[in-house]
Amino acid sequence: MRLHVIGASGYGAGELLRYLHAHPTIRIGELESGSSVGEVVGTIFPDLRRLPIGTRTFAARGTVLATLAACENTNDDVVVLAGSHELARDIAPQILALGARVLDLSDAFRLDATQHGAVYGMPERYRKRIAEARLIANPGCFPTTTLLALIPLADSAAQIQSIVLDIKSGISGAGRTPKVGSMLTELEGEVRAYGLNGHRHIPEIAQELQALGIEAPFVFTPQVVPIARGMLGSIYVQFTTPPSHERIAAAYSTCYADSPGIRLLPPDTPPSLRAVARSNDAELSWTLYGATLRVLCGIDNLGKGAAGQAVQSLNLLARVPEETNLHDR
């Protein structure tokens, strides 16, 4: 499978290249960037300098489409869109018309994905559909943390009364485009809550919870903390009647029995962001207080929350084990 990247100089794309540079069945094609044309990959991403991919240069806009148009057979080509949602909505139909597949890292196709012929790219929910997809909408990092914590509770959806989502994210979640509010000098010493009047990920979270059958109302408080990467969710689920410890334990162990990279920690054991850093892993633990369940979920927002999850889906497309090249690198 040949993989091209549009928007290849962003944080998510750099993480993707780190995972894929030595992949056994996926080879890297064009690396297109509107902001870094002609720049050497290792200049933009110093941690890739020691690798062969670090000597590549970024191509100009339009290169990927031209490359696909010149190919007689594009069935084995996949294009990762790592730019804005406006770019994705414009260019994805053109790529699909040329016969290649698309994996979009933006939020362009996450809502009402099936209306666009897209599959929501969360393997823990949609493995079989992802493997056959032409267009994959990679989930956001906040929804990923939320859903990993709540998917095992789908069978208890009718007993869920309310949900509180308290999720803290590293600064890299804001992307690479400079913003004053995302500067370390602005955030050092702060834990900043934002999006309190409506965060952009709320509709995505609501959509996927409803797909699980969870109709309970939820309150979402996203916060940014002064670390480069990492995400910790504290999810509180209020049940109408207290579930048993055995029922909760069985729900999580059964749900994730065949999910590589998801570690279920003993109750009351907090996830470690250092343990999941630069990986596609997730750590989960839970504690039951009568009718209230607290679930803690830790991921790397650039790993499991973005590029790592994308590679997981690409592996499903390539018909290789989904954990291929996703161990700590």
Catalytic residue IDs: 141
d(C-alpha 30, C-alpha 102), whole Å: 14
Contact 280, 309 (CB under 8 A): yes
Structure tokens at 198: 């409506």
One DSSP character per residue, 1-68 reads -EEEEESTTSHHHHHHHHHHTT-SS-EEEEEE-SSSTT-BHHHH-GGGTTSGGGG-BPBPTTHHHHHH
Strand segments (E) across 170-230: 192-193, 218-224
Burial of 275 (0-12, 13-18, 19+ CB in 10 A): middle
What are the φ/ψ torsions at residue 269 (nearest 5 degrees)?
-100, 115
Evaluated on CA atoms 127, 300, 84, 61, the torsion sign reads negative
- Give the count of alpha carbons within 13 A of 150, CB side only: 31
